[in-house]
Amino acid sequence: MTGKVYLVGAGPGDAKLITVKGLECIQKGDVLVYDRLASPRLLKSMKPGGEKIYVGKRPDRHTMKQEEINQLLVDLALQGKTVVRLKGGDPTIFGRVGEEAELLRRNGIPYEIVPGITSAISVPAYAGIPVTHREYASSVSIITGHENPEKLDHSIHWDKVTNATGTLVFLMGVAKIGYISAQLIKHGRPPETPVALVRWGTRPEQETLTGTLADIEAKVTAANFQPPAVIVVGDVVLQREQLMWAEALPLFGKRIVVTRARSQASELVDAIDGLGGEAYEFPVIETVMPEGEEKKAELAAALSVLESYDWVFFTSVNGVEYFFRHLMELGVDIRQLFHARIAAVGPATAEALAMRGLLSEELPARFQAEGLIDAFGTELLPGQKVLLPRGDLARDWLPDKLKELGLQVTEADTYETVVTGEDDEELLKLLEEGRIHAVTFTSSSTVRNFLQILQRMGLEDPLPLLANVKIACIGPVTEQTAVEAGLAPGLLAAEATIDGLVTELCRWNAETKNK
């Protein structure tokens, strides 16, 4: 049975700029054939077991010739596979989609062309440059600029193009910027015409260089400005001073790894993305229900006598969520806790309880276990019974301290923390290229598992690769674990919360920009 090929535009680089249909194609594809301009984050959207084939081109070499790519799509489809050919930008804008689709049609293979957001309009927009403006330009031309001068002259009618529209957008033309500028001046554009080059637009690496037709080549040379970049010619470039927005966001320019469990990562990921950074999800932990009959029996025994507890201390959101899951499975009525005082470590834990109708005691000043003792030390009396619903890797400090005070402590391991099974070659590549700026750790287990997974992926010693990466920790306990593992934490949240961690990241980025 013949498969089907989807020729999909990935957008300009920011993974969230792909279309809904484009993302759906990736999610259902058996094979993803992608190039250099596709965001690595999009690769994570594939279904488990999906095959990824890189066919991108670099300035110094071609990984695979276009004819070979065309044939590859045919061969994969003839194997009955659903194939997604992921192209940067829009596949119909200098994407050679016509050649690929033509060969598919000749071989009787069904296909769809899924448009994407072209870099010709989106990249300038992220630099604060609208390609049209009522006062400056009512029309725009999109022109290829990567060919050699002879081919450029053959494919571009300079006498017609130069003044045909108010704005000219050249794609892939950095290496020929001098020739392009000279031709435009020769055919009537004033030398003082504004020009902007936007490199890696919509990504953390985005850079913008402005000038005029007369001086832009010298500026490109002086700055060693490298491709890929979009070139914008016209008075709309002047709008950048008023409309620049992406580069003003608090986390612009930073690609930040989020190591939290995927089920809990959304808050941190959304915050980073919303503040202009790029959150790279690399979950290194996963929480699961405890296994083993003995553990289940111990947990059932602990939860069957809720009426006997004087205190219940919740030290994490996970502890709350799994506690209620166990109550549901065991058929235990939460009203049996009527006798107990309930306390939570941190506002997120308190909120998780409040969402279930339980208001916790006044929060401790410190968002860690030590804060509970600070807050309630004089009220913790010998002989009182305490229930600690928590994970199997939780620290021993709190139960040990409570026992020292003479309390009877029941530790209920309501969940277990395990290492995820995911390897990520793209992350290794980004680390090797220095394109990861920070790694966030929200627990000691994320620190240990992160390093363990890097070693599993072939890094005998991951520490040198992380030497220039900022290590951001949510609290002092996590920071201490990082130090013991050989890392050099540089950022510590003032409050051990996600908001505190994000605030610290923003402060760091502001300092970095000012240097």
The string of pLDDT tens digits covering residues 57-75 is 655 555 688 899 999 999 9
Q: Which of 21, 44, 52, 57 is catalytic?
A: 57
- Alpha-carbon Rg for the chain, nearest whole angstrom, is 28
Percent of the chain with pLDDT over 70: 95
Q: How far apart are alpha carbons 493 and 495 in whole angstroms?
A: 5
pLDDT for the residue 315: 87
Contact criterion met (CB below 8 Å) for 478 and 441: yes
401 carries an active-site annotation: no
Q: How many CB atoms lie within 10 A of CB 443?
A: 25
pLDDT at 367: 60
CA-to-CA dists, residue 466 to 39, 452, 478, 482, 490, angstroms: 22, 14, 17, 12, 12
Q: What is the pLDDT, as a whole number, of residue 307?
A: 95
Domains plus CATH for the chain?
Answer: 4-117 (3.40.1010.10), 121-248 (3.30.950.10), 255-284+420-514 (3.40.50.10090), 289-417 (3.40.50.10090)
The two structure tokens encoding residue 279:
């959150």
pLDDT score, position 151: 65
Query: Taking Cα atoms as reference points, which of 250, 275, 256 lies closest to residue 437?
Result: 256
Q: Encoding tokens for residue 100?
A: 């690929």
Catalytic pick among 30, 90, 172, 176: 172
- Match 């405890």 to its residue by tokens: 290
Contact 110, 5 (CB under 8 A): yes
Q: How many CB atoms lie within 10 A of CB 486?
A: 11
Cis peptide before 228 (omega within 30 of 0): yes
Phi then psi for residue 169, to 5 deg, are: -120, 120
pLDDT-derived band at 515 (thresholds 50, 70, 90) equals low
Contacts of 244 (CB under 8 A, 6+ apart): 127, 128
Task: For strands 167-171 and 229-233, give the pairing.
Answer: antiparallel
Our answer to whether residue 57 is catalytic in this structure is yes
Q: Which member of 4, 14, 30, 35 is catalytic?
A: 35
* pLDDT at residue number 146: 67
**Would you tell me the crossing angle of helices 369-376 and 397-404 to the nearest 10 degrees?**
30
pLDDT band for 149, please (50, 70, 90 cuts). Answer: low
